Each structure stands twice: as structure tokens, then as C-alpha cells.
């Protein structure tokens, strides 16, 4: 009877391979996964593409159970983003079913804003403006870097982000994607080095 069962060492090896595969997908830069045959032109198309994405490896159990807000609040480089989401009242939304794709600015990106801008945005009186800016960083659907190609992508805020893929580099409305494909239970997070501000919020 023992010979009919999968050996325990084989099961452990299979599990380890899954972890390695998922970790590699998160660590590789966005351009390592770009498929030139796939494009994301607008929000409607984004949702369609997201539904057809084939992942290279299964996510780790931790990645599969943590939502976007949990990922942000658990990462030291997103302290300002987490605070801003709370001030804008978007925590419940981004903990919801989604799926969402978030281009997440780091603390350094927020620190690079003109002096006093962040403090001003975090004031209750400016909640609407802060919400507008933060939703400009969110795209409907779960869009992995495999689905990114140069073109416009409509944000949740309503206006479009400009994705540019060139010479091994991916930018979103001028911000560099510095880490891609951090998978959440309700979407995916791509780390960017600049805060994106829609034209009518400047």
C-alpha cells in the first residue's frame, strides 16, 4: 500500500517548487513578463484581459489570503499610502472583492511631493481631492505585467493612465514600475516611484 502513495519528500519538494516559482514572479521586473501580443487599452478591455491571464506559477498561500490593504499596511515602504487610504475612506473599498490593480507609490514617492502638499491632502477638508488622486492609481481588474503594453488604461478615477513599455523599462504616466506582480486575494499591486496626479487635481 505504501508504494501507491506519493512519498512525503516528493510532496514537500512540489510545495517548495510552487513557492520558488511565485517568489520569482514577484521579484522579476515588469518587463520580464511582458507579452507583446497583449494590450490594455481601456478599463473594459483591462477586465477582459485580466480574465484571460494565465499565471506562470501559483501564488504562495500568504499572497492568496492577504488583500491589497493588508499588503500595503504590512509593508514598511507603504506607510504613507496606508495613511492616505484611511484619510480618503478607501480602506473598505480596497479590502473588497475587486479585483483591482493598484500602482502603489512608495513613501519616498510621497516625500518627493512639493513641501506641504501631503499634509494639505490629508486634511479632512481635502478628502475629495485625495480620493481623486488615489483612485487615479487604481485600474479595474487584476492586470499582471504580462498584460502591459504601451497605451492608455482607464483608471477608476475616470481619466486614463499612459503606460509606456520601451527599452526594458515600464512607466505609468511618468512613474517607473520598480516592482511588479505582488499578488493579493483581490487583485495585484505594482510598486511605482512617483505619485500620480490627474490634470484636474493639480
CA distance 178 to 105: 10
pLDDT score for 53: 30
Contact 158, 139 (CB under 8 A): no
Number of H helices and number of E strands within the chain?
Answer: 9, 7
pLDDT score for 64: 53
pLDDT score for 124: 96
Report the chain's C-alpha Rg in angstroms: 18
Mean pLDDT for each 10-residue chunk of the chain (202 residues)?
A: 42 32 32 32 34 35 73 95 96 92 97 94 96 96 86 94 86 94 94 92 72
pLDDT score for 78: 96
pLDDT score for 40: 35
pLDDT score for 149: 86
Quick one: which of 50, 84, 32, 14 has its CA closest to 183?
Answer: 50
Domains with residue ranges and CATH for the chain: 2-201 (2.30.180.10)
Amino acid at each position: 500500500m505504501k508504494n501507491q502513495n506519493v512519498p512525503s519528500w516528493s510532496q514537500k519538494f512540489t510545495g517548495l517548487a510552487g513557492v520558488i516559482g511565485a517568489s520569482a514572479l514577484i521579484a522579476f521586473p515588469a518587463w520580464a513578463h511582458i507579452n507583446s501580443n497583449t494590450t490594455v487599452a481601456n478599463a473594459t478591455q483591462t477586465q477582459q484581459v485580466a480574465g484571460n491571464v494565465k499565471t506562470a506559477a501559483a501564488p504562495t498561500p500568504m499572497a492568496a489570503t492577504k488583500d491589497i490593504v493588508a499588503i500595503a499596511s504590512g509593508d514598511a515602504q507603504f506607510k504613507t499610502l496606508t495613511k492616505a487610504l484611511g484619510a480618503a475612506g478607501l480602506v473598505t473599498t480596497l479590502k473588497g472583492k475587486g479585483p483591482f490593480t493598484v500602482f502603489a507609490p512608495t513613501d519616498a514617492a510621497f516625500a518627493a511631493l512639493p513641501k506641504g502638499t501631503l499634509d494639505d491632502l490629508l486634511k479632512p477638508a481635502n478628502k475629495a481631492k485625495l480620493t481623486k488622486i488615489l483612485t487615479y492609481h487604481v485600474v479595474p481588474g487584476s492586470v499582471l505585467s504580462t498584460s502591459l503594453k504601451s497605451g492608455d488604461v482607464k483608471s477608476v478615477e475616470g481619466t486614463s493612465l499612459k503606460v509606456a513599455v520601451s527599452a526594458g523599462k515600464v512607466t505609468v504616466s511618468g512613474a517607473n514600475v520598480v516592482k511588479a506582480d505582488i499578488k493579493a486575494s483581490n487583485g495585484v499591486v505594482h510598486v511605482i516611484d512617483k505619485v500620480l496626479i490627474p490634470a484636474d487635481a493639480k
